[in-house]
A and B are shown apart, each in its own frame.
Chain A
Amino acid sequence: MKSSHSEFVNMSWMDKVFQSIVYGGLLFAGILVLYPLIFVISASISDPVSVNSGKVLLWPVGIQLDGYKLIFKSPWILVGYRNSLYYTVFGTFLNVTITFMAAYSLSRKDFFGRKSITIFMVFTMWFSGGLIPTFLVVRSLNLIDTPFVLIIMNAIIMFNTIICRTFIQNSIPKELQEAAHVDGCSDFGILFKIVMPLSAPILAVLALYYALGHWNNYFNALIYLSKREYQPLQIFIREVLVQNQQIDLDDMLDFETAFQRAQISQVMKYSLIVVASLPMLIIYPFVQKYFVKGVMIGAIKG
């Protein structure tokens, strides 16, 4: 399939047309994806009047950083940022621990009751009690309006557990575990001393999948939290971007007129989009291969 580059010269007329269509199509797809992203970044650092009058089409016009300055003056955006970090870090730690331990047990062929327990767990992927009964359970546990609820919800996602189980089964030699067993190592010992050190790639996949889920989740906060001081960043983003509420600022002295404030609100929205996506975009180049790896492992045993 992979032909050398010089072959392009020898290709038939038909093949050249075909190749051009392929490259053209791919380029088109790339531009479609990239354009909105570049536009948002450009608009966030442009002069508000130019943005509102449509002068910014691709590159920034009249560069300034007022949008960013204003965002970081809003106390609630910072609270949301802090809360989201907190939920993501602690939630992901809990997720990975529970998922990895369960996946290890499920990977052991000699685990008595493995089949029925797997079916019991996987069934939850296809049938759920739904929003209201779940809400009633959470309420009866007195978890409503506690920050703990955002950490514990989705503590284990079965799709991720199956990916992890498949990885352990296929990539960690059974002989190694059996040898340790013969030498008198307990199951805990095998997991923590042998399987875990060899599972770094899948632990990275799990951590990233769960972390992305926590960072981007607004649903659980919408349902289970009403106290403003516990809300994650996504809820504040929703208020500003979707419900079109003004960001509350500490001091209003920066604005001489309401008109000026209205002018800058759009730039502020674009700045907020950039700030909200920043953590994921910064780590993206480093972790992209782990995300892809997760899909690949998942593909082996959907």
Chain B
Amino acid sequence: MLDSMVSTSFRKRTIMKLVKSWQLYVLILPGLLYLCIFHYGPMIGLQIAFRNYTPSLGIFGSPWVGMKHFRYFLQSPQFTVLIYNTVSISVLFLIFSFPMPIILALMLNESYSVWFKKLIQNLTYIPHFVSVTVLVGMVISFTSPSIGIINKIVELCGGKPIDFMGKAQWFRPLYILSGIWQTTGWGSIIYLAALSGIDTQLHEAAEIDGANRLQRIWHINVPGILPTAIILFILTCGRVMNVGFEKVFLMQNALNLSTSEVISTYIYKTGLLGAQFSYTSAIGLFNSLINCFLLLIVNAVSRHISETSLF
């Protein structure tokens, strides 16, 4: 008796709350609808990874095949190549590009001249606005063996022109260097914000104690931006398997395929162009799961070691 009264009044209160803020629901509806259709819709569609999708039968009518596509992918000769290429591009890019914005921000922070600092900041942000097609177009033009500026410089120094885009071993360095060029300046903003939040009293106290500038940077500034760096590092680890399709695909050609074929480009070519929908959906799901798994692991490790974590 009492129970049912409580539950009805609870239900009434809930309905009252819903009715009272109906306008807020209307405001959030378009965004929710978009996410439901274009993000949760595909998640429901992911079940074709466990089916043999045929367009005439539709997603829900195609026969179940269990783990067949996953087994097939794990046993296929592409498996090790794709995983190796994806992980190595990603990890090498992470290793080389991650410290760059930190170094730039620490140096900018040491500049006494305000106008010089502003100038360098505004210059280094520009590449962020260049589209990936233009960036890759520039890389191809600059590295061209016949007319590229880099090979002209190589020739001036007495070397022989190198066909950078046509050699598989040059794919990763070009990818990483152009990436550093594009992202370093923009990435430094967040560290500069963290540096400006450091208490100046710390520096004054350290100066009185006789610490020189390098010591102050190492013992005050670096620990000051460490939490920011760790959070960004965890976030990046959660995307290790998502090497940006856009840039890799543009830089890819028949000659460098042995190092440039990654999971996302393989899914595009085999899945979309080759119409193997179920098989490549399985690869995509496999990929997403590894990403989530990596994010959770790095997050847990970081929570133990540094007490900084996402959740």
Contact = CB atoms under 8 A, between A and B. Distances in A.
B24 A108 contact: yes
A128 B112 contact: no
Interface string B5-42: 00000000010011011011101101110110111111
Interface residues of B, number: 98
A132 B272 contact: yes
A155 B184 CA distance: 28
A276 interface: yes
A130 B287 contact: yes
A273 B138 contact: yes
B272 A237 contact: no
Interface stretch (A27-35, A170-178, A252-260): A27-35
A218 B246 contact: yes
A209 B240 CA distance: 24
Contacts, number: 271
A286 to B, nearest CB: 12
Interface string A261-294: 0000010011011001100110011001001100
A112 B18 contact: yes
B1 to A, nearest CB: 28
Contacts of A112: 14, 17-18, 20-21
Contacts of B40: 124
A206 B176 CA distance: 29
A281 B123 CA distance: 12
Contacts of B104: 26, 29
B38 A133 contact: no
Interface string B185-224: 1100110011000001001000000001110000000000
Contacts of B295: 126
Contacts of A127: 43, 288, 292
Nearest to B194: A299
Contacts of A296: 189, 193
Nearest to B245: A219
Given A218-B131, A291-B125, A242 B136 contact: yes
B137 A273 contact: yes
A187 B212 contact: no
B80 interface: no
B272 A135 contact: yes
Nearest to B276: A132
Contact of A23 (B35, B111, B281): B111
A136 B142 CA distance: 39
Nearest to B131: A216
Contact of A266 (B134, B147, B190): B147
Interface residues of A, number: 101
A81 to B, nearest CB: 13
A156 B31 contact: yes
Interface string A124-156: 101111111111111001000000000011011
A99 B31 contact: yes
28 contacts: A7-B112, A19-B112, A22-B107, A26-B120, A29-B104, A33-B124, A33-B127, A53-B147, A54-B149, A108-B24, A117-B28, A126-B295, A127-B288, A127-B292, A129-B41, A129-B284, A131-B271, A132-B284, A136-B59, A141-B37, A223-B268, A238-B250, A241-B137, A242-B137, A242-B140, A269-B137, A281-B126, A281-B129
List of 9 A-B pairs having minimum Cβ-Cβ separation, nearest first? A129-B42, A241-B137, A130-B284, A54-B152, A102-B31, A133-B45, A216-B131, A133-B42, A187-B23
Given A52-B147, A124-B40, A295-B193, 13 more contacts: A26-B108, A29-B120, A57-B152, A99-B31, A132-B271, A135-B272, A218-B131, A218-B132, A219-B246, A223-B272, A237-B133, A237-B137, A277-B130
Interface of B: 14, 17-18, 20-21, 23-25, 27-28, 30-32, 34-35, 37-46, 48, 59, 104, 107-113, 116-117, 119-120, 122-127, 129-134, 136-138, 140-142, 146-147, 149, 152, 155, 181, 184-186, 189-190, 193-194, 200, 203, 212-214, 228, 231-232, 235, 238, 245-246, 250, 264, 267-268, 271-272, 277, 280-281, 284-285, 287-288, 291-292, 295
